[in-house]
Amino acid sequence: MGKILEVSNLTIHIKTHKGTVQAVRDVNFYLNEQETLAVVGESGSGKSITMKGIMGILPKNGKVTEGTVMYNGKDLTKYTEREMQTIRGSEIAMVFQDPMTSLNPTMRIGKQIEEMLKAHKMDMTAEQRKARAIELLSLVGISNPEQRYKQYPHQLSGGMRQRVVIAIALACDPKVLIADEPTTALDVTIQAQILDLMRDLQKKTKTSIIIITHNLGVVANIADRVAVMYGGKLVETGDVYEIFKNPCHEYTKGLLASIPKAHEKGNRLRAIPGTPPDLMDPPKGCPFAARCNETMVVCQQFMPEYSDCGSDHKSACWLLDPRAKGGKA
Amino acid sequence: MVKYVLKRLGYILVTLWIIITCTFFLMKNLPGTPFDAERFSIMTPAQQEKVLEMYGLNDPVPVQYVKYIGNMLRGDLGTSFTYVNQDVAKVIGSRLGPSALIGLQAVLIGLALGLILGVLAAWKHNSGIDYFTMILAVLGVSMPNFVAAALLQYFIGLKWGVLPIAFWTSWSCSILPSIALSFSATAQVARFMRTEMLDVLDQDYIVTARAKGISQAKVLMKHAVKNSIIPVVTVLGPIVVNLLTGSLAVENIFSIPGIGSLFVDCIKANDYPVIMGITIFYAAFYMLIVLLVDVVYSLIDPRIRLARGKEN
Amino acid sequence: MNNEMIKDSMFVKAEVAADEKEHIAAPASGMITDAWARLRKNKAAVVSLFILIAIILLAILAPIFSKYDFAFTDYSNVYSTPTKGHIFGCDQFGRDLWTRVWMGTRISLMIALVAAVLDLVVGVLYGAVSALLGGRVDAIMQRIIEILVGIPSLIIVILFLMAFPAGVGTIIAALSITGWVNMARLVRAEILKLKNQEFVMASHVLGSNNLYIIMKDLIPNTVGIIVIQVMFTIPSAIFTEAFLSFIGIGLAEPQASLGVLINGGYQVLQNYPHVLICPAIVIVLIMVCFSILGDGLRDALDPQMRK
């Protein structure tokens, strides 16, 4: 299995009227062919911005200031807008968080799928596009696709709309599918359906998937590998079993501890106290230092390097440093 | 939908009836009379009687009211005091053309210019064209139309002598007044379109469209403009009010034989039948436009269209 | 990274202050200070505010300190163009336009201000009563408003002016007779919205009585839209007054308002444009500044726009 996508030292700044937000800071990760990578972290940790940076669809005030995004041996950050347009949708497609707002409310569903085909499959005729759109609708499990084809988004339920969004993303058989919290806005019962759908489709289409989530249940369900982000930094990455069994970063540990467990009756829900750092003025040390229970002086002053804590399992934490005698390592 | 329109029409009729009644009794109690006091007083009582009878003024007021309503339902709005022996409906009808032409041209200029400016301003947010549009919008909304009209007449008509400054002899006479009237419409449309576009450009489905890899021009036209242009229909109501108001002053300034100048002349001459006629005409016209806007809006926005469909 | 600077001694547990965990860069601030801070950042709005203050001061002071009375005629100076003695020149009777323009501004502003205050009082009371009482009272009050909204307000104003002798009082009354409707609708809508919001319900649940809720929850939260609405009422009242005077059914000579002056200037526009242009500049300036300041205030006060 080769790496299909590799992100190195990616740094993204967003200019606001109050100042520059360092939304993504020096992030490294890769995606293997046909695997599913889950990117985990709380709101504002820079997950979505990272993905938009990869796709070249950052908001106007956002900019990749450093780093590379290697896709099939080419650096996407060097691509012009026009060149990126040929990649977006056909090579790398995206599924968004809220199906209630991510579809154009005044355009028929069929047209929204066909738009993707029109942009990338120039040789298709109008009939072929329609046939493909209906085929895609049935592929994502929508019944009566011929009728749905003519409907508007607001005539569909949330789960159905997310299926449509997935259908749009898969229209041109992309090599990489980026799903930005695809289940967060849905009912719990629908969430499982959508995850099952994505897993099935991955088997059929051999797509590689990056799934962003803050739900560790989703991670356990679908991911092969995990990348944990905090405060615009990637703090830990590794195999999904490794991460769940042997979390190395204190933040990952906190995340895992906060999953409610049915058998621990009577215990209070556990939370990580405090709030994430303000990325307008990020701490110069470890971003988690202010909330960590094991904070050392060095954590507040210096950014930790990545240390290996297993095969293909890395974590950026000073506690893993051999000098950290006072720590648990 | 039909039920909704009928209900609204019912409302309009009730409102019109209230307006007619109030205006009628107000007119009956006004201090001034349309007749030249001196000439009226030197008439013999028989002559006075005849004049009063000619205009139906010697009946008791409630009888006059019933007669007026009855005649009105048959399309007869009475006889003008100043335009001797002329039917009010005819007087108004003969003035309709110029006002309609100017108004329509102003709306078209306002829509075309306003939409283009609004789209450009939002697309190039915080750029030169954006600031230009904002300044134009503020000026257009703030500059009283009669000031704009007077300045246009002075600079373009008098100083440069490019266009006719008054009267109604050829189509070119309608250009300056149309432009003067279009200022506020342009400003309103540009401002509305810009706000609406900025809002739409922030929506998730624009990101979805960009993620599809379609060109920026297509994202702008097919997704952003199409979705922001629909609500612009709703500013047509306020625009029509502004045009009606503006036409009173602008038609006077450019000496145009339209309804606006007729209205002002008749107010000054205490020509009550014509004033009443125009009042009813304006009110009905305005309310019908507002209704039309609502209907059109619900027809072109698929979300509203279906919401209504389910109700009925 | 400079590894030499990392000393072994740093690998000891650090004390983290409790408040460090909730580090937030922006300090919390109240609504009014917040709004003011944001308004101050809006340069156009601040400039407009200062121009308006200057215009108001001139309207109050200029006629008092002028050498000429606003009705003083001097036939040697008829249609004089702007000079040192007559900054704006003179009109057809040789009256000093500088004095007349600021006198007119004073009257126009006064009319607009009184009309705005009347709109405010009637509109807020009507809207609040309608929203707070609800039920049948609200339904009837809303029907009345629906009918009033259906009529172009200009027609009501004109008919009103025909029925009563022209004068400052009549104009104010004519403006107020239709002006309050928008305010009433806004206030009602806002209160209805607030009434159903969680924090008001929470206040109810916590045992606050109705008066307390009105004073502490509803009024402070509607102040914003009321202020904004007033900011838009004033220029529209100035416009309507000028418009009526211009078409000849509002104020008339010898009274001076901006509309009267513009009307007078328009009559001699062909030969003496300065007689029109001076009052026209003042009225446009007032309208533009109110418009920009109103927009600025709306952005500063609208909590939904806070980012």
| The pLDDT of residue B251 is above 80 | yes
pLDDT in tens, A133-151: 999 999 888 989 999 999 9
Q: Between A278, A297, A321, which is nearest C12 by CB?
A: A297
Provide the pLDDT for residue B283. Answer: 86
Of residues A53 and B81, more confidence is placed in A53
| The pLDDT of residue B40 is above 70 | no
A58 in contact with chain B, both atoms CB, cutoff 8 A: no
Of residues C176 and C28, more confidence is placed in C176
Q: Whose CA is closest to A203, among A9, A19, A35, A6? A: A35
Q: Please state which of the ranges A28-42, A45-59, A315-329, C201-215 shows the lowest mean pLDDT.
A: A315-329
Average pLDDT over residues A279-292: 80
Question: Residue B150: closest CA among chain C residues belongs to which residue?
Answer: C266
| The pLDDT of residue C7 is above 60 | yes
A&C contacts, CB < 8 Å:
59
| The pLDDT of residue A329 is above 50 | no
User: What is the C-alpha separation between A63 and C13, in angstroms, rounded?
Assistant: 37
Provide the pLDDT for residue C1. Answer: 46
C281 in contact with chain B, both atoms CB, cutoff 8 A: no
Provide the pLDDT for residue C254. Answer: 75
DSSP-derived pairing of the beta strands A225-230 and A36-40: parallel
Provide the pLDDT for residue A92. Answer: 93
| The pLDDT of residue C37 is above 90 | no
Six-digit token pair at A64? 């990749």
| The pLDDT of residue B284 is above 90 | no
Of residues B169 and B110, more confidence is placed in B110
| The pLDDT of residue A276 is above 50 | yes
pLDDT bracket for residue A302 (50, 70, 90): confident
Say if the Cβ atoms of B11 and C154 lie within 8 Å.
no
State the pTM of this model. Answer: 0.80
| The pLDDT of residue A279 is above 80 | no
| The pLDDT of residue C94 is above 70 | no
Six-digit token pair at B130? 């954006």
pLDDT bracket for residue B27 (50, 70, 90): confident
A94 in contact with chain B, both atoms CB, cutoff 8 A: yes
Q: Between A273, A274, A326, which is nearest C11 by CB?
A: A326
**Taking a C-beta distance cutoff of 8 angstroms, is the pair B207, A96 a contact?**
yes
Interface test with A, best of C2, C4, C5, C16 (most A CBs within 10 A): C16
HEC assignment per residue over C144-190: HHHHHHHCCHHHHHHHHHHHCCCCHHHHHHHHHHHHHHHHHHHHHHH
Other CB atoms within 10 Å distance of the CB of residue B128 = 9
Q: Please state which of the ranges A290-299, C19-28, C162-171 shows the lowest mean pLDDT.
A: C19-28
User: What is the C-alpha separation between C181 and C66, in angstroms, rounded?
Assistant: 40
C20 in contact with chain A, both atoms CB, cutoff 8 A: yes
Provide the pLDDT for residue C122. Answer: 92
| The pLDDT of residue B310 is above 50 | no
Say if the Cβ atoms of A88 and B210 lie within 8 Å.
yes
DSSP-derived pairing of the beta strands A62-71 and A3-16: antiparallel
Say if the Cβ atoms of C287 and B142 lie within 8 Å.
yes
Chain A CB contacts of B210 below 8 Å? 57, 88
pLDDT bracket for residue B108 (50, 70, 90): very high
Interface test with A, best of C11, C20, C43 (most A CBs within 10 A): C11
Of residues A327 and B137, more confidence is placed in B137
HEC assignment per residue over chain A: CCEEEEEEEEEEEEEECCEEEEEEEEEEEEEECCCEEEEECCCCCCHHHHHHHHHCCCCCCEEEEEEEEEECCEEHHHCCHHHHHHHECCCEEEECCCCCCCCCCCCCHHHHHHHHHHHHCCCCCHHHHHHHHHHHHHHCCCCCHHHHHCCCHHHCCHHHHHHHHHHHHHCCCCCEEEEECCCCCCCHHHHHHHHHHHHHHHHHHCCEEEEEECCHHHHHHHCCEEEEEECCEEEEEEEHHHHHHCCCCHHHHHHHHCCCCCCCCCCCCCCCCCCCCCCCCCCCCCCCCCCCCCCEHHHHHCCCCEEECCCCCEEECHHHCCCCCCCCC
pLDDT bracket for residue B189 (50, 70, 90): very high
Say if the Cβ atoms of A120 and B125 lie within 8 Å.
no
Q: What value does the mean pLDDT of chain A take?
A: 86
| Helix-then-strand count for chain B, H and E | 15, 0
Say if the Cβ atoms of B147 and C269 lie within 8 Å.
no
Query: Contact partners of C by the rule of 3+ C-beta pairs under 8 A?
Result: A, B
**Taking a C-beta distance cutoff of 8 angstroms, is the pair A24, A46 a contact?**
yes
| The pLDDT of residue C124 is above 70 | yes
Average pLDDT over residues A223-243: 90
Say if the Cβ atoms of C284 and B287 lie within 8 Å.
no
Six-digit token pair at A59? 């908001």
| The pLDDT of residue A51 is above 70 | yes
A184 in contact with chain B, both atoms CB, cutoff 8 A: no
Of residues B96 and A275, more confidence is placed in B96
Say if the Cβ atoms of C287 and B287 lie within 8 Å.
no
Q: What value does the mean pLDDT of chain C take?
A: 80
| The pLDDT of residue B312 is above 50 | no
Q: For chain B, what percent of residues have pLDDT higher than 70?
A: 91
A233 in contact with chain C, both atoms CB, cutoff 8 A: no
Provide the pLDDT for residue C89. Answer: 73
Q: Between B211, B301, B303, which is nearest A57 by CB?
A: B211
User: What is the C-alpha separation between A162 and A183, in angstroms, rounded?
Assistant: 8
| The pLDDT of residue A6 is above 50 | yes
Provide the pLDDT for residue C20. Answer: 53
Average pLDDT over residues C31-44: 78
Q: Is the peptide bond before C254 cis (omega within 30 degrees of 0)?
A: yes
User: What is the C-alpha separation between A285 and C245, in angstroms, rounded?
Assistant: 70
A&B contacts, CB < 8 Å:
82
Chain C CB contacts of A318 below 8 Å? 11
Say if the Cβ atoms of C5 and A321 lie within 8 Å.
no
Average pLDDT over residues C172-193: 87
Q: Establish whether this prediction's ipTM goes over 0.90.
A: no
pLDDT bracket for residue A328 (50, 70, 90): very low
User: What is the C-alpha separation between C123 and B268, in angstroms, rounded?
Assistant: 32
| The pLDDT of residue A204 is above 60 | yes
**Taking a C-beta distance cutoff of 8 angstroms, is the pair B256, B233 a contact?**
no
Interface test with B, best of A102, A162, A164, A172 (most B CBs within 10 A): A102
User: What is the C-alpha separation between B148 and C277, in angstroms, rounded?
Assistant: 11
Q: Whose CA is closest to B153, among B178, B183, B177? A: B177
Question: Residue B158: closest CA among chain C residues belongs to which residue?
Answer: C270
**Taking a C-beta distance cutoff of 8 angstroms, is the pair A143, A81 a contact?**
no
User: What is the C-alpha separation between C17 and C283, in angstroms, rounded?
Assistant: 59
Q: Whose CA is closest to B295, among B252, B223, B234, B242? A: B234
Chain B CB contacts of A177 below 8 Å? none
| The pLDDT of residue C13 is above 50 | yes
- Rounded to a whole number of angstroms, the distance from the CA of C112 to the nearest CA of chain A is 36
Of residues B171 and C77, more confidence is placed in B171
Q: For chain A, what percent of residues have pLDDT higher than 90?
A: 30
| The pLDDT of residue B295 is above 90 | no
pLDDT bracket for residue B305 (50, 70, 90): low
A18 in contact with chain C, both atoms CB, cutoff 8 A: yes
Output the CA–CA distances (angstroms, integers) from residue B200 to A49, A151, B221, B223, in the order listed: 20, 21, 12, 9
CA gyration radius, chain A:
21
Provide the pLDDT for residue C22. Answer: 53
- Rounded to a whole number of angstroms, the distance from the CA of B306 to the nearest CA of chain A is 9
Average pLDDT over residues C251-273: 83
User: What is the C-alpha separation between B45 and B40, in angstroms, rounded?
Assistant: 10
| The pLDDT of residue C148 is above 90 | no
User: What is the C-alpha separation between C80 and A321, in angstroms, rounded?
Assistant: 90
- Rounded to a whole number of angstroms, the distance from the CA of C51 to the nearest CA of chain B is 15
| The pLDDT of residue C184 is above 80 | yes
Provide the pLDDT for residue A146. Answer: 92
A173 in contact with chain C, both atoms CB, cutoff 8 A: no
| The pLDDT of residue B296 is above 70 | yes
Q: Please state which of the ranges A165-179, C73-87, C99-113 shows the lowest mean pLDDT.
A: C73-87
Average pLDDT over residues C120-149: 87
Average pLDDT over residues B203-222: 89
Provide the pLDDT for residue A325. Answer: 58
Average pLDDT over residues B298-302: 80
pLDDT bracket for residue B190 (50, 70, 90): very high
Q: For chain C, what percent of residues have pLDDT higher than 70?
A: 85
pLDDT bracket for residue B106 (50, 70, 90): very high
User: What is the C-alpha separation between A276 and A278, in angstroms, rounded?
Assistant: 7
User: What is the C-alpha separation between B186 and B143, in angstroms, rounded?
Assistant: 12
A16 in contact with chain B, both atoms CB, cutoff 8 A: no
- Rounded to a whole number of angstroms, the distance from the CA of A61 to the nearest CA of chain C is 15
| The pLDDT of residue B234 is above 80 | yes
Core vs surface per residue B19-39: b (16+ CB within 10 A) or e: bbeebbebbeeeeeebbeeee
Provide the pLDDT for residue B308. Answer: 46
Q: Whose CA is closest to A139, among A195, A198, A206? A: A198
